[in-house]
Chains A and B, each alone.
Chain A
């Protein structure tokens, strides 16, 4: 007797929890890239930057949210306890990168970005090509916070100096 079995779907049609949805993707260009009108329907945001190169050598990759350019960010903090820390920075940024070789990537996380009652947290890990010895890597794992209780609906990223010459971005919404 033959056995008949109805195939089961391995992946649900729409994730209700734990899934990632690509919200935007593109290439890095000019003095800055702004992602605007970000949906607040997700739990977290994840921004992936790949193969980024800035025209000016040995410069950092900077980021702001909600177009806030005042002293509203924590300094770039190493993992650990940081008590009584003020919001003294006007942006957050990664380690320096080479301006010719772009094998680096940065993974930015924006947990609980859509709530409207708490300060916002940002964490990231990055790897870039050392500007002096490009076969060596500059590595970083940091976190920061932003002195705003508004939902994050805009992210701007830009070289610490000069323009982007190459690289890509992908923004995911995480359920």
Chain B
């Protein structure tokens, strides 16, 4: 159901969508679902990249510590 307020007559009509309007409505819904999925995917990829960067930084730090500990003392 959609509401149409004609300002020329101040008449308000509630009616079912026409076939053309319903097709547009369904296309809009599909596009929004796809956009939300793409946004979620991009967000997940961003989070994964952040986590990987953190893991790499931790691994480098640990390797540096271990290397320092294995250096022969004079």
Contact = CB atoms under 8 A, between A and B. Distances in A.
B32 interface: yes
B6 interface: yes
Given A90-B31, A160-B32, A161-B32, A31 B25 contact: yes
Interface residues of A, number: 22
Interface stretch (B8-16, B41-49, B59-67): B8-16
Given A69-B28, A161-B29, A38 B7 contact: yes
Contacts of B52: none
A36 B4 contact: yes
A23 B7 contact: yes
B10 A30 contact: no
Interface in A26-47: 26, 28-39
* B contact patch SS: mixed
Contacts, number: 52
A77 interface: no
Interface string B29-40: 101100000000
A26 B11 CA distance: 11
B2 interface: yes
Given A69-B28, A90-B28, A31 B2 contact: yes
Contacts of B10: 24
Nearest to A89: B35
Interface of A: 23-24, 26, 28-39, 69, 90-91, 160-161, 163, 171
16 contacts: A26-B3, A26-B12, A31-B2, A32-B2, A33-B4, A34-B2, A35-B7, A36-B4, A36-B5, A37-B8, A37-B9, A38-B7, A39-B7, A69-B24, A161-B32, A163-B1
